[in-house]
Amino acid sequence: AQSVAQPEDQVNVAEGNPLTVKCTYSVSGNPYLFWYVQYPNRGLQFLLKYITGDNLVKGSYGFEAEFNKSQTSFHLKKPSALVSDSALYFCAVPTGGGNKLTFGTGTQLKVEL
């Protein structure tokens, strides 16, 4: 079965420092992978997706994700964190023949001054 795992419940980083939010996947065949962000009291918003091609995917708000097939990982990164990046981040993988998305448990990112 297709699945993703987010090993960290929370990540703390100082503003201006690089940030990484981790995601590993278990997928048969070529993976499609997604990152979404949820700001407080809001629905999820799409950040980026990997389908095929370049291992570094660029997305919204300066985020990027690195696909690593040998480590089965799809980590979300940003070179310089902002306080406004503080939110809940989810990675996701299509399941059910591609008709639906299954989400990881989420990682709370806290960026402090």
Partner 1 sequence: NAGVTQTPKFRILKIGQSMTLQCTQDMNHNYMYWYRQDPGMGLKLIYYSVGAGITDKGEVPNGYNVSRSTTEDFPLRLELAAPSQTSVYFCASSYVRGANEKLFFGSGTQLSVL
Closer by beta carbon to partner 1, 98 or else 113: 98
Closer by beta carbon to partner 1, 4 or else 19: 4
Closest distance between partner 1 and the C-beta of residue 16, in Å? 29
Binding site for partner 1 (CB under 8 A): 9, 32, 34, 36, 41-46, 49, 51, 90, 94, 98-106
Closer by beta carbon to partner 1, 70 or else 96: 96
Q: Concatenated DSSP letters for the chain?
A: --EEE---SEEEEETTS-EEE--EEE-SSS--EEEEEE-TTS-EEEEEEE-SS-SEEE-GGG-EEEEETTTTEEEEEESS--GGG-EEEEEEEEEGGGTEEEE---EEEEEE-
Closest distance between partner 1 and the C-beta of residue 94, in Å? 4
